[in-house]
Amino acid sequence: MSNQGFFAAGDRIQLTDPKGKLYSFTIVPGKEWHTHKGWITHDDLIGMPEGSVVSTTAGLKFTAFKPLLADYVLTMPRGATIVYPKDAAMIIGMADIYPGARVLEAGVGSGALTISLLRAAGEKGYVHSVERRADFADNARSNVDAYFEGAPANWKLDVGDLQDQSFDSEFDRVILDMLAPWECVDIAARALRPGGVFMSYVATTTQLSATAEAIKEDGRFTEPESSETLVRGWHHEGLAVRPQQRMIGHTGFLIQSRRMAPGVEVLARRRRPAKGGYGVSED
């Protein structure tokens, strides 16, 4: 995407009306964008700076910007539920996806998280994605290519099960978004370098528990840590400042751990187990 601050042919543009409703389309010379109150000619948008106010032929006004990544992934075609921007941001931050990182991703879905991983890893990094469903992979490839205006040279997408893959080198990070990530703890351990980060995104507490226990039983990872992210917006009209009635609540859990050095025993976490946490005693 162009970052020069001006709209050009082929750019994605986002128009916002006074009520806050968003509209997005790609600028194509010669085309028109129609509303219930007039239309806007694409040619008139080319060369216009971001942050401009544009009007339809009937006087309906919109603020014009290029969409942020969060805007793009929320409006792009979906074949599967996306990883929401709030969770993608936490994954990038907590898994420490840095420029030059080698990332293994499994469970691509619609490609929302893939785009964030590619941006964070940068041109010197590398993202290897694995998706078991061919239709999801095709949709993800289309969304990723559209966002980067072409297929990223540092991205590989394979169709199949993660357990069936073989890798030529070690990865710095393994990110899983799938129904049964506990089944992939072993291959994640084999794919990760010592000190590498394992992170999984799961929707339910049963998935969270199964993944945590699999990590502990594997013996090659540190004690897993889990969290969820809640985002609540606020209204602010003069002195009337209050939380919004609706919020982006639970979307999923994040569970992460780090790869131990080969042959090194994990230090046991010293804590008192929760009552009934491991079933009822036979005594």
∠ CA 114-177-180, nearest 5°, is: 155
Give the contacts of 264 (CB within 8 A, at least 6 positions apart). Answer: none
Q: Residue 219 gets which letter from DSSP?
A: S
Is pLDDT at 79 greater than 90 in this prediction? no
Give the tens place of pLDDT for each residue, 84-140.
999 999 999 999 999 999 999 999 999 999 999 999 999 999 999 999 999 999 999
Phi, psi of 147 (to 5 degrees): -65, -45
Percent of the chain with pLDDT over 70: 94
Distance between CA atoms of 193 and 5, rounded to whole angstroms? 40
Residue 162, marked binder: no
Cβ-contact 160, 133 below 8 angstroms:
no
Q: Which residue has the tokens 């080698």?
A: 102
Residue 163, sorted as left (phi over 0), alpha (psi -120 to 50) or beta, turns out to be alpha
Residue 30, marked binder: no
Q: Which residue has the tokens 């879905």?
A: 109
Give the tens place of pLDDT for each residue, 174-201.
999 999 999 999 999 999 999 999 999 9
Phi, psi of 95 (to 5 degrees): -85, -5
Cβ-contact 191, 162 below 8 angstroms:
no
Residue 111, marked binder: yes
Residue 161, marked binder: yes
Residue 274, marked binder: no
Cβ-contact 140, 129 below 8 angstroms:
yes
Residue 113, marked binder: yes
Residue 276: per-residue pLDDT: 66
The three-state secondary structure class of 100 is coil
Is pLDDT at 280 greater than 70 in this prediction? no
Cβ-contact 42, 34 below 8 angstroms:
no
User: Where are the domains positioned within the chain?
Assistant: 12-67, 71-258
Residue 138, marked binder: no
pTM: 0.86
Retrieve residue 262's tokens.
């080969």
Count of Cβ atoms closer than 10 Å to residue 138 Cβ: 14
The domain 71-258 is placed in CATH, from the list 3.40.50.1220, 3.40.50.150, 3.40.50.720, 1.10.580.10, at 3.40.50.150
| 12-67 is a CATH 3.10.330.20 domain | yes
What is the Cα Rg of the chain in Å? 23
Q: In Å, how far are 135, 173, 242 from 114, measured between CA atoms?
A: 16, 13, 35
Give the tens place of pLDDT for each residue, 218-270.
999 999 999 999 999 999 999 999 999 888 889 999 999 999 999 999 988 77
